[in-house]
Amino acid sequence: MSLTISAEHSVPQASGRRARLADDLVRELTSWAPRERMGAFRRWQHSDLSLVHLSVLTVLEAEGPLSMGRVAEELDVSVASATGIVARMAARGVVERRHDADDRRVVLVHLTARGTKVFQNLEAHHRKRLATLLEQLSEDEMEGFLLGLRALRAARARSEAQGPPSSAAAKPAGQAL
């Protein structure tokens, strides 16, 4: 039996309750913030974009347009290296360079519509794979999984609201500071 996930990514219909559970689970599993995607990039290959390119796109999606210097900082490379990376990305149409309106000496790197589409395609692929996996779960398993995921998301939100742990608390017992 296949599940209905959304109008955009529909597959044959399942029972109403099961379809609602699947939609909720997929929504929970795919509601990633740009920074959360970074770990998944190591497992995903996307056309002619390297992991470095995906990193740049993620930073731009999360933070908006950046100067070439900030791109270099984010990648931990020289400005010359960042310029080459951005030039290759611009040639592929996923970013564009524009002069800053306030300071024409500064070049800002912007996401293009094609760059944004990269994430939409990755998400669609991810949703499809999750739907396939969820077909193997019973309604009770999906319901329990959804409850657990929501609890995990709430715990993560509480943890983030408390801020990062102190450096002493973050070290394993017995490890020198």
Instruction: Give pLDDT tens digits for 43-100.
Output: 555 566 888 898 899 999 999 999 999 999 999 999 999 999 999 999 999 999 999 8
Domains of the chain, by residue range, sit at: 16-152
Of the candidate ranges 31-40, 61-70, 116-125, 132-141, the one whose mean pLDDT is the lowest:
31-40
Helix ranges (H only) for 13-163 are: 16-30, 34-41, 51-63, 68-75, 79-91, 113-134, 139-162
Mean pLDDT of the chain: 81
Q: Region 142-161: what's the mean pLDDT?
A: 90
119 and 61 Cβ atoms separated by less than 8 Å: yes
Q: Which residue type is seen at 10?
A: S
Predicted pLDDT at 157: 93
pLDDT value of residue 1 = 46
Residue 9 has pLDDT above 60, yes or no: no
Q: Is 28 helix (H, G, I), strand (E, B) or coil?
A: helix
Q: How far apart are CA 42 and CA 55, in angstroms?
A: 10
Q: Provide the whole-model pTM.
A: 0.58
- Domain 16-152, CATH among 3.40.50.1000, 1.10.10.10, 1.20.1260.10, 3.30.413.10: 1.10.10.10
Token pair 């950046």 in the structure block, residue? 66
